[in-house]
Amino acid sequence: MTAAEPPPVRASDAERHAVVAVLHDAVARGLLTLAEGEERMAAAYSARFVRDLPPLTADLPPVPAPAPVAPGWRALMLLAWLQLRSALTGLTWRRASSRPRLAVAVLALVAVLSVGAVTAGEFGDHRPDVQQRFEHVGPR
């Protein structure tokens, strides 16, 4: 090492674990055999310097980005509830200008209640086992 060259930077546990996570993913996707993965993971855990880590994953393609996930009913219900609450918070009963806010608040309340009823299954029991339970019962 020359005087102009800085000393190598030591690798942290977090950096080692990040490389091992990439290697685990590569083994799971079939890019590396189990033996290759074990060998590279052992090398990652025993790496002392940061410069020793990139060669372990240099020949692997980048990890694909995760597919976006829909928020689901709970998130939509929460947003509707927050909008209703904010509409009711700013509502004053004495002014004539509050009527549009009242209409928005009532519509939001109806929307929250209807979505809640649909997700709770209040509109009939569509399970096939309920119909089958009563098919064998004949007239008395």
Neighbour count for residue 29 (Cβ, 10 Å):
12
The answer to whether the beta carbons of residues 19 and 44 sit under 8 Å apart is yes
- Give yes or no for residue 107 having a pLDDT over 90: no
pTM of the model: 0.48
Q: Which amino acid is at 113?
A: L
User: Which pLDDT score is estimated for 139?
Assistant: 56
Res. 137 pLDDT band, cuts 50 70 90: low
Question: In angstroms, how far is the first alpha carbon of the chain from the final one?
Answer: 99
What three-state secondary structure class fits 49? strand
Q: Which residue has the tokens 């990439």?
A: 22
- Give yes or no for residue 131 having a pLDDT over 70: no
Res. 122 pLDDT band, cuts 50 70 90: very low
State how far the alpha carbon of 4 is from the alpha carbons of 8, 48, 52, 71, 89, in Å: 12, 21, 21, 54, 66
Lowest-confidence pick of 5-9, 82-86, 115-119: 115-119
- Give yes or no for residue 104 having a pLDDT over 60: yes
Q: Where are the domains of the chain?
A: 13-57, 72-131
- If one compares 126 and 57, the residue with the highest pLDDT of the two is 57
List, for residues 62-95, the tens digit of each pLDDT value.
888 888 877 777 787 788 788 877 777 766 555 5
What three-state secondary structure class fits 10? strand
What three-state secondary structure class fits 65? coil
List, for residues 21-70, the tens digit of each pLDDT value.
999 999 999 999 999 999 999 999 999 999 999 999 999 998 888 888 77
